[in-house]
Structure 1
């Protein structure tokens, strides 16, 4: 595959969207898996269109949730547009699912044997713009929050949480978010898990390792059960719980920092 410089630049510009970049919130919100698009030259990676609307391709409901949280918290957010099947920014380049070759046994033709040139181009148009946007959004922030969704059932096992708070290194921020979100979730009849349904201490998480923990910034991955985000009323409920919790934590830990009310 060959792309001229203008085409490469245009595709890179379409990879990421920055919401409220000048907002004074202590938080930077990040949605690495919010998008389902595959850049046109890659022809949907050889997949039929319906596959790009599945959880394999995109964290369902996260685009809408991130936009709500950004607006209501008045917090900057970095939102990725390209599918994680094209390139998963939250995975190191050496990981198998950085360019996932299958969907639970269904092959992804465009990812079965990508050439070195293909990999280079994907990093130019998909990885580099997101890396730059996050790096530029970090200065002045007190904590990073990466927003994801998960499937209610995995490997035939029902997950018994509705919202997960994932952390690798303990901090006053992590403890406060856990306590506050669990209390607010319980009041709404939702279960908030501590490093569930995934344990970040046992998993790979490039984004917050690179841009958060390595820089000494407390960081969490928020995981929301994706069927809670498909109906407006449930989306509103989850969003309000997270908005209230993050606002309360910010006012407690960083009273000198502007926060939304």
Structure 2
């Protein structure tokens, strides 16, 4: 696999592919974002916990994971290339000086376009029964300290089939599931549009609250849960 992403597990026709486009936190050698090193361990840099969950899920036969290597501060892969937020100059109130006055087209050409090209080729080569776009959200934003009570949230644009099955299954387990909360899949939808909705692939776009999955025990718990839920979704959508 290239420097842009890594595949964990063995992709299988009719299986489950977990995509973590915010799973990485690397910064390319020679690129100075102009922020503190400690910031690279915070939610502004990557989606905490999702790569570990995806790796654990990919230990199960029939499940694989496609995990971005680079931080969302280098390039946000879940934004359209023409969206200014694809290379953010600020994130949750913090300035990212290394993204100001740069050659945006060159950055996108090196990281954004090839990542999506690789993901598209993988999904076409081994079509999964379900593609899972896994994200996480911080319990509170620095720029808005409103509490986010949902343990997880389902997102979707036009195709809500996977989301509604997941919502039902997770609510049956006692979770408070946000429907298009804390984000909307009709807005933050670049990856699902290109790789799921437009080609007609069944999918689940899920956010898990980061304080539930920032440690190994929580990651293992959610990996087991999502493995069960995703296989149920795949079966119900057949």
Question: Quick check: 133-142 or 167-176, which moved more?
Answer: 167-176
CA distance in 1, matches of 2:184, 2:93: 24
1:151 to 138, 143, 150: 138
Counterpart in the other structure of 2:27: 38
Counterpart in the other structure of 2:176: 191
Could you say if the C-alpha distance between residues 22 and 235 of structure 1 is closer, same or farther in structure 2, counting changes exceeding 3 Å?
Answer: closer
Contact 1:24–1:75, Cα closer than 8 Å, also in 2:
no
Structure 1 unaligned spans of 5+: 1-11, 255-261
Contact 2:155–2:183, Cα closer than 8 Å, also in 1:
yes
Contact 1:143–1:212, Cα closer than 8 Å, also in 2:
no
Counterpart in the other structure of 1:206: 190
Alignment of 1:1-261 (within 5 A): 13-43=2-32, 45-72=33-60, 74-115=62-103, 119-139=104-124, 140-154=127-141, 155-184=144-173, 186=174, 190-201=175-186, 203-254=187-238
How many Å apart are 1:165 and its aligned residue? 1.2
What is the count of residue pairs matched by the alignment?
234
Secondary structure of the residue that 1:196 maps to in structure 2?
A: coil
How many Å apart are 1:229 and its aligned residue? 0.9
Q: Deviations over 1:8-50 (max 9, x none)?
A: xxxx92111022343234332110011111101213x122211
Could you say if the C-alpha distance between residues 42 and 19 of structure 1 is closer, same or farther in structure 2, counting changes exceeding 3 Å?
Answer: same
Structure 2 unaligned spans of 5+: none
Contact 1:18–1:133, Cα closer than 8 Å, also in 2:
no
Larger-gyration structure (1/2): 1
Could you say if the C-alpha distance between residues 180 and 84 of structure 1 is closer, same or farther in structure 2, counting changes exceeding 3 Å?
Answer: same
CA distance in 1, matches of 2:29, 2:9: 28
CA distance in 2, matches of 1:170, 1:15: 28
How many Å apart are 1:72 and its aligned residue? 2.7
Could you say if the C-alpha distance between residues 160 and 144 of structure 1 is closer, same or farther in structure 2, counting changes exceeding 3 Å?
Answer: same
Counterpart in the other structure of 1:6: none
Contact 2:132–2:203, Cα closer than 8 Å, also in 1:
yes
Q: Deviations over 1:131-172 (max 9, x none)?
A: 122101222223321110001113110011001111112454
Per the normalisation by structure 2, the TM-score is 0.89
Question: Quick check: 58-67 or 226-235, which moved more?
Answer: 226-235
Q: Deviations over 1:147-202 (max 9, x none)?
A: 10001113110011001111112454333222122213x1xxx322222221212x
